[in-house]
Structure 1
């Protein structure tokens, strides 16, 4: 791969399209699958027998996707090169009894998912999306991508303490959005509305996984359009880059590894689910891939011992208004290339040998990279990296793209960084 002297704005344009079309993890994996199918991948069911032939395959489960490409002549013990990411983002999610209201307002009862910046959801035009489960057990995606709801902020005249003490939001009392007027709040109103939107017969929906999203589309900003503002960059930026990298790597001849994309749900609340990184999905896929090629338990052990995973998640760029919150000698910059995340207490999985793998990938791609470490006085977040390393015994390296406003309803990245990250991931998967 030649060094990218200029970034591919087409890649960033496509990222913005991907973000806008992926308001939920379920939409994100469907869109990733569609891109992979255009590259020749095909879906396989977990309930079917798998064959060991070469080519690209993927498994969908809820809001997670695992995709892999088996090169011609791959041995049962051929190692994997894995890009790990997550599909979920902090937001507001609809409760089991969604219809509520008071004082002439119709409202939607929501629960707080993950750790969102609550103030970023105030006074913003919001849509509603997710999946509906029907009586026959099938699911349907739904996306009302227009202004439908709003969490109205209290006027300053009714709370003068905001000026002196700052905004204080109660997750239960202050974050319930309005979506209409009326005193006659009836159970089933919201679901009946969504059935109509999705063209589903009335009364067929028996379950739902629904979440709120900002409908303002991603946009370039800045004097030279060098910045991108948009939703869910944490962590659909990495999902999009990993999807592009896997599609590109699958077209490379003589791959020495089996490239894999593993994009999980529920990272924002601990990854402990059947679609999370702490679940069995990735391990099952890798094991079945080995066995489908005639391998044994010994072959599986050999393959995993030589496997490497890049856990790709967004990280913190130095903030110009809060530079003291960062480590004084580690200031990752927007558009400075992907960041290598390090934490000696294993909040990130990177060690010296992992740094060597990532360095080689960036050098091959001609991509600069930066290093991130937390200020010692600040608690450090974590990723799927340590979980992947511990659960599967796989050497794992934590990386990502630097952004601002992480966990906001609308985050900020550099226009060049998504392409640089995808270039590094492609080089890594190609070996």
Structure 2
């Protein structure tokens, strides 16, 4: 996202530096290298005009390597993992897995620096137990995350072991030979599926990929911001840690977005006026009605793939949608010839949530929750309609260009 913004002339700001009085233009700022706010500043008074804002999240459920992960069982080296977020665990078995993430290291001059690393090749697998050893597997097998999820990386000779930090150090030096990498101090490394994304279906109807929740919304939001005409002040925020509750400095419950908005408004009164003239669209994938499990949906609220973006509503504010904000979105869809759908969870089922209600309560802005219909949410590989992203892009671009609500 940073590369795409820089290519289009966005200027990077840093939280620890003075911004002064920003002139109209394009800017972005990051926190923790995992959350980003990018925005246009248009001509005119921001306090009386407000901002059109779109929000999404950058993280997805996965398996995260523990601090002391090495274990050898029956000559096989495994790494202990934690489950990040509400992952659907069974699909992680029998996949070609690799590792990627951030490594914090010490240079020879004792400086602490950070670098991204990606093993790229398949380096691990979590094999299933054969059906011959568990005849009731298709009726009753459950996954114990502590016992059943440690991936296998390699086979070792008797008494041999492997230091994971030393492995990371070697990979960093191979991938970044220009850096003065000494000792690896710590890391945030996750496993991921090496299978590439694909357009599938007899007529190319579907997108099959990892982490569609919620990188699809991040991508569409970014492309919409880049295509906006810049005549209206507009902002995109993509927060980390939504899948684990957003309680972090870079999550939606942190003050990242609020601090950026406060710096743009310069004083408390201008901030309150700006929020009153602003609106946020929280974009996070919606549950499409599954043909094999149609009874899990309310009969009148079953979104279909490739039939347009979905307005998500919940009476208990698990989604931030109100009639005021949904009316704005419905009108935008109508003007731009984009169909719109509705999702309400069954009254006898629990409802998930998004950054929408958190952001609305944090900064006091009118908010709407929407998303594209998706199957297999939180699986290692998810499925969406190949035409829905384009329809959402059309509406979000129009929203960024909209003069008033």
Q: Quickly name the TM-score band, shorter chain normalised.
A: over 0.9
Within a 5 Å distance, the mapping from 1:260-275 to structure 2 comes to 260-275=235-250
1:382 aligns with 2:353: yes
Matches within 5 A, 1:371-410: 371-410=342-381
TM-score by length of 2: 0.93
Residue of structure 1 in register with 2:317 after alignment = 346
The alpha carbon displacement at 1:74 in A equals 4.1
The separation in 2 between residues aligned to 1:163 and 1:112, in whole angstroms, is 23
Q: Is 2:255 the counterpart of 1:280?
A: yes
- CA-to-partner distance for each residue in 1:111-149, whole Å, 9 max, x for gaps? 110011101110000111011112223211111121111
1:319 positional shift: 0.1
Tell me how far 1:76 sits from its aligned partner: 4.4
**In structure 2, what is the Cα distance between the partners aligned to 1:139 and 1:78?**
40
Query: Distance in 2 between the 1:91 and 1:171 partners?
Result: 12
User: Which residue of 2 is the match for residue 3 of structure 1?
Assistant: none
Q: CA–CA distance in 2 between the matches of 1:202 and 1:43?
A: 26
Pairing partner for 1:195 from 169, 172, 190: 172
1:247 alignment partner in structure 2: 226
Residue 34 of structure 1 and its aligned partner are, at CA, apart by 1.2
CA distance in 1, matches of 2:277, 2:119: 45
Tell me how far 1:201 sits from its aligned partner: 5.4
| Cα distance in 1 for residues equivalent to 2:78 and 2:368 | 44
TM superposition shift of 1:189: 4.1
Local SS of the residue matching 1:147? coil
- TM-score for the superposition, normalised by structure 1: 0.88
The match for 2:208 among 214, 223, 229 is 229
Cα distance in 2 for partners of 1:178, 1:418 equals 36
Cα distance between partner residues in 1 of 2:194 and 2:47: 46
Equivalents in 2 of 1:264, 1:313: separation in Å?
Answer: 12
Query: Which residue number corresponds to residue 156 of structure 1?
Result: 131
Is this contact kept in 2: 1:362–1:427, CA < 8 A?
Answer: no
- Aligned pairs, number: 391
**Alignment check: 8 A CA contact 2:166 2:184 kept:** no
Of the candidates 159, 162, 168, which is equivalent to residue 186 of structure 1? 162
Tell me, yes or no, if the aligned pair for 2:125 and 2:153 is still in contact at 8 Å. Answer: yes
Q: Counterparts in 2 of 1:29-108, with a 5 A limit?
A: 32-50=1-19, 51-62=21-32, 63-108=34-79
**Within 1, Cα distance between the matches of 2:162 and 2:182?**
14
Task: Tell me what 2:145 maps to.
Answer: 171
User: In the TM superposition, what whole-angstrom CA distance separates every residue of 1:151-176 from its partner, at most 9, and x where no partner exists?
Assistant: 111111111121332x2110000000
Unaligned 5+ residue runs, structure 1? 1-31
In 2, Cα distance between the equivalents of 1:332 and 1:303?
34
User: Which region of structure 1 is more displaced relative to structure 2, 220-229 or 197-206?
Assistant: 197-206
Is 2:103–2:117's contact at 8 Å kept on the other side of the alignment? yes
The alpha-carbon deviation at position 260 of structure 1 amounts to 0.5
Deviation at 1:248, TM superposition (A): 1.0
- For 2:175 and 2:44, locate their aligned partners in 1 and report how far apart those are by CA, in whole Å: 45
For 1:297 and 1:164, the matched residues in 2 are separated by 59
Q: Does 1:328 align with 2:299?
A: yes
Structure 1 window deviating more from structure 2 (361-370 vs 78-87): it is 361-370
Verify the 8 A CA contact 2:48 2:277 in the aligned structure 1.
no
1:366-401 CA-to-partner distances (Å, cap 9, x unmatched) read: 211100000111111111111011111111100011
Task: Give the distance between the partners of 2:196 and 2:316, measured in 1 at CA.
Answer: 38
Counterparts of 2:174 and 2:97, CA distance in 1? 16
- Among 167, 185, 189, the alignment partner of 1:210 is 189
8 Å CA contact 2:105–2:181 kept in 1: the answer is: no
Conservation of the 8 A alpha-carbon contact between 1:349 and 1:397: yes
Question: Within 1, Cα distance between the matches of 2:80 and 2:174?
Answer: 19
Residue 217 of structure 2 is matched in structure 1 by 238
Cα separation, 2, equivalents of 1:91 and 1:272: 18
